[in-house]
Amino acid sequence: MVKIATQNNSFRVAFYFKELFINFTIQFLNFDMVFKKIFTLLLFFTIISSTFSQIADKEAIDNLIEEIASSSDEELDYTSLYEDLYYFAQNPLNLNTATRKDLEKFQFLNDFQIEDILEYQRTAGEMQTIYELQLLKSFNIEDIRRLLPFVCVEKKEDKQLPDFKKAIKYGRSNLFLRTQFVTQQQKGYDHDDDVFEASPDTNLYKGNKFKYYTKYQFNYKQNIKFGFVAEKDAGEQFFKESQKQGFDYYTVHLQVNDVWKFKTITLGDFQARFGQGLISWSGLSTGKSSYVMNINKKYDGLRKYSSTDENKFFRGVGTTLRIKNFDITSFVSYKYIDGNRTLVDTVTNQIDFEGSFQTTGMHRTPNEIFDKHSVSEFVYGANIKWRKPSFKLGASFIQYFFSESIVKDQIYNEFAFQGDHGLNASVDYLANYKNIIFFGEEAISENGGYALLNSAMLRLAPQISLGILQRHYTKDYQAYYAGAFAEQSKTTNENGIYFGTEIHPVRNWKISAYYDIYEFPWLRYGVDAPSSGNDFFTQIDYSLNRYVKMHVRYKQESTFKTSSDDFTGVVPLVPTTKKQFRYHITYSLSRNLRLKNRIELSSYQKGDEETETGFMFYQDVSYKLRTIPLQLTARIAFFDAAYNARIYTYENDILYGYSIPGLSGQGIRTYLNLRYTVIKNFIDVWLRYANYSYADRDVIGSSLEEIQGNKKSEIKIQVRIKF
């Protein structure tokens, strides 16, 4: 890495200005405008010089994932994103050798920024200093600061084949051991161990309340990746009866890159991502977010799988062969999944499959254990891609078979995927011409349903970008592994058009906005007629400097739902509107102390019913002790929100852990995270304590998760060993 050499005097000047800023912020805001500009300019150069020499830590990664996840109302799987960012925080990517696929791993980069870096490589040659990022017209100072912790500038080296002897000697290993549990007694565990001897079918949890997690990672550069994950969920048995093999879930992977003509070889568990996700996109599939220009699916192809989501991944072998400008990918997978079963005759042990799959991954009760791995799944697919610097054209197909047939008899599922097999095929493209980027995918399913997605992104000026995305998914389009851009979680029964824009009107200001209008030609769950809707989002970001950042956000979602009033005959649809307003500020009082504040308001209106409202305020503190290797983050959040107006908040967690709870009811949410380095570059320990304290209830949860009382607390302990 090229590090910016700074003299001791420069450090003193930087420290002086930093302290001056902290102590006199209020007075600074009242300075004469001319002096203020001069002072800001001096402060800018001292800040940027110190920024370029810093290395990312977990807080930087958490901030990025929070921005990506901030518009989601569900807990997606961010494991792969976390792994990519953490890897590059420890092993910065050389911008002189970075490929498109490398840069696409940074999901906060938009297509114009990626194109600018690649074009700079082709026309200007090697970067000599990291400062040259300022010459790229799509990057402002905040974009550069966001990217810097994960990249470096070094001389180009000839690409070498993986050396397995060197890999064994110089590869890096990480072993994670984690446990977590809820401290209060939950209803599912309120029994003696001998209760199942008296009644084996008792619907209670058969295991203890502890969740166990083990993860091993081995990396040799970007060439060889090997690892495994083993997990036992709370309530599942451990080394006894149905879980005699120990953990309930295991995943193992091996990925080798750049061996002879093979771009990628994967063995074990992996993901397959093609085009824009109309036929296959396993793993994280982000949609609308505060990164309004990031609507193009990136980082397609094969990659290893190391998440704890027990469903949509592949288990087998996959390869990508590179021949000149062609990438040829093929894969085959076979694994068992959970299905709903019923024992209809205890004498003959006749079992009836109920026509649906289980996707929770939980095997705690006798019924859940009975459903485990009751269906086999066989999948194979292929993709061929032709690449040029400014053009990409691909064709893909995927076919899948199940040992049992899916049956859905609800009227809204009339056109949903059913049966025991399916087939999808598609073509996709990406073209870059000057300041316009076109991309899209067109797909068809075995039953004749089809899906179309096409988009264009325009850079109208260095400070103004515009994105337009159109999708048309017929009501009978069926793609079991799809994960394309959509308002709903499924890629079917939806037409829509999305407009997004990003504007940098003046320095340190950014305006992001999108408007998405959509319709559903057929019924959906909770909506007993064709319907439509729209989303509007805008966010204004302001960075006073490196130490103080803030944003204001407004989001409104309008759609229709079936009326909850009593009607005879056809039940009408009524309009629903959810509005959200947020003010967020992050500020550093010193090098080791960072604070965050957020106020968020929400409202939900359905027809003529009374408006439901929500309120949340939190205070975050992040502090790193100087005398001992201890870091802490803490939050206290006050909330008062109806369920339909609940507020989702991203929480800092232990490494590779994430939490995005939806706050509803009246209460206080607190957590404390501690990280202690026992032996530098060898052993780290994390401890997390999180607690809900409600003021409006004496019972938390329902069914087997029920807790008698108004408090729910969770403890996580994790140890990492590096070797």
- The stretch 105-124 carries a mean pLDDT of 88
pLDDT top residue among 77 and 107: 107
Query: CB of 420 within 8 A of CB of 404?
Result: yes
In angstroms, the CA 208 to CA 233 distance is: 9
Separation of alpha carbons 272 and 51, rounded Å? 37
Token output for 36: 């203020």
Task: Determine if residue 595 is left, alpha or beta; phi over 0 gives left, psi from -120 to 50 gives alpha, anything else beta.
Answer: beta
Q: Quick: pLDDT tens for 371-406.
A: 999 999 999 999 999 998 889 999 999 999 999 999
What 8-state DSSP symbol labels residue 571? P
Provide the total of helices (H) and of strands (E) in the chain, helices listed first.
11, 32
What are the tens digits of pLDDT across the range 15-60?
333 343 334 333 433 434 433 333 333 333 333 333 333 334 566 6
Task: Provide φ and ψ at 520, rounded to 5°.
Answer: -120, 105
Give pLDDT, residue 160. 62
Residues contacting 196, CB < 8 A, separation 6+: 202, 204, 206, 366
For residue 684, how many other CB atoms are within 10 A of its CB? 22
- Residue 703 clears pLDDT 70, i.e. is over it: yes
**485, 469 in Cβ contact below 8 A?**
yes
Interval 487-510: pLDDT, tens: 988 999 999 999 999 999 998 999
More confident residue, 668 or 360: 668
pLDDT for 47 equals: 34
pLDDT of residue 447: 95
CA distances from 434 to 84, 112, 461, 470 (A): 30, 10, 12, 22
Predicted confidence (pLDDT) per residue in 257-274, tens digit: 988 889 999 999 999 999
β-strand 151-152 against 93-94: which pairing, if any? parallel
Confidence of residue 574 (pLDDT cuts 50, 70, 90): very high
Residue 247, both tokens: 């953990």
Q: Which two tokens stand for residue 415?
A: 């056109």
Residue 524 identity (one-letter amino acid): R
Q: Where are the domains of the chain?
A: 8-152, 256-498
**Cα distance between residue 354 and residue 342, in whole Å:** 7
As given in the structure block, the two tokens for residue 135 are 């010459």
Between 73-87, 223-237, 575-589, 602-616, the lowest mean confidence (pLDDT) is in 73-87
**How far is residue 138 CA from its own chain's centroid?**
24
User: Which structure tokens are listed for 102?
Assistant: 């490398």
pLDDT at 10 over 60: no
- Which residue from 386, 388, 323 is spatially nearest to 122, judged by alpha carbons? 388
Kind and range of the H or E run holding 706: none
Strand partners, 537: 514, 555
Q: List beta partners, residue 478.
A: none
DSSP string, 413-461: GTTS--EEEEEEEEEEEEEEETTEEEEEEEEEETTS-EEEEEEEEEEEE
Question: In the chain, how long is the greatest CA-to-CA distance?
Answer: 91
pLDDT tops 50 at residue 11: no
Task: Quote the mean pLDDT of the chain.
Answer: 86
Cα–Cα distance measured from residue 47 to residue 54, given in angstroms and rounded to the nearest whole number: 11
Whether residue 643 is predicted with pLDDT greater than 90 in this model: the reply is yes
Task: Give the bridge partners for 269, in sequence order.
Answer: 315
For 404, how many CA atoms within 13 A lie in the half-sphere containing its CB?
22
Residue 75's pLDDT is what?
54
The CA distance from 285 to 485, in Å, is 8
**377 phi and psi angles, rounded to 5 deg:** -135, 130
3-state secondary structure of 595: strand
Of 529-533, 542-546, 712-716, minimum mean pLDDT range: 542-546
Question: What are the residues whose beta carbons fall under 8 Å from the beta carbon of 221, sequence distance 6 or more?
Answer: 91
Helix orientation angle between 79-90 and 58-69, rounded to the nearest 10 degrees: 150
| Better pLDDT: 22 or 155 | 155
- Measured over the CA atoms of residue 307, residue 309, residue 312 and residue 313, the dihedral's sign is positive
Average pLDDT over residues 60-75: 65
CA–CA separation, 58 and 36 (whole Å)? 34
Quick one: tokens of 512?
């992001």
Tell me which long-range contacts 420-423 makes (C-beta under 8 A, separation of at least 24). Answer: 421/446, 422/446, 422/478, 422/479, 422/480, 423/397, 423/398, 423/399
Contact call for residues 314 and 269 (beta carbons, < 8 A) = yes
Q: Looking at residue 72, what is its pLDDT?
A: 55
The full 3-state SS of 308-351, as one line of letters, equals CCCCCCEEEEEEEEEECCEEEEEEEEEEEEEEEEEEEECCCCEE
Round to whole Å and give the CA distance between 161 and 163: 6
Report yes or no: 647 and 667 within 8 Å, Cβ to Cβ: no
Q: How far is residue 238's CA from residue 416's CA, in Å, rounded to a whole number? A: 37
Which tokens sit at 59?
């807080």
- Beta bridge pairs of residue 464: 461, 503
pLDDT of residue 695: 96
In this prediction, residue 91 has a pLDDT band, given cuts at 50, 70 and 90, of: confident
User: What mean pLDDT do residues 681-697 have?
Assistant: 95
**Among 423, 441, 433, 555, which Cα is nearest to 479's?**
423
Helix, strand or coil, per DSSP, at residue 133: helix
Please give, one letter per residue, the 3-state secondary structure of 171-227: CEEEEEEEEEEECCCEHHHCCCCCHHHHCCCCCCCCCCCCEEEEEEEEEECCCEEEE
- Spell out the residues 6+ positions from residue 618 whose beta carbon is closer than 8 angstroms to its own: 596, 597, 598, 635, 636, 637, 638, 649, 669
The pTM for the full model equals 0.86
Kindly report the number of other CB atoms within 10 A of residue 6's CB atom.
15
Report the range of poorest mean pLDDT among 57-71, 187-201, 634-648: 57-71
3 state DSSP class of 232: strand
Q: How far is CA 597 from CA 549, 583, 671, 694, in A?
A: 11, 8, 15, 21
Instruction: Quote the DSSP letter at residue 572.
Output: P
List the end-to-end C-alpha distance of the chain, in Å, as a whole number. Answer: 23
CA–CA dist 102, 93 (Å, integer):
8
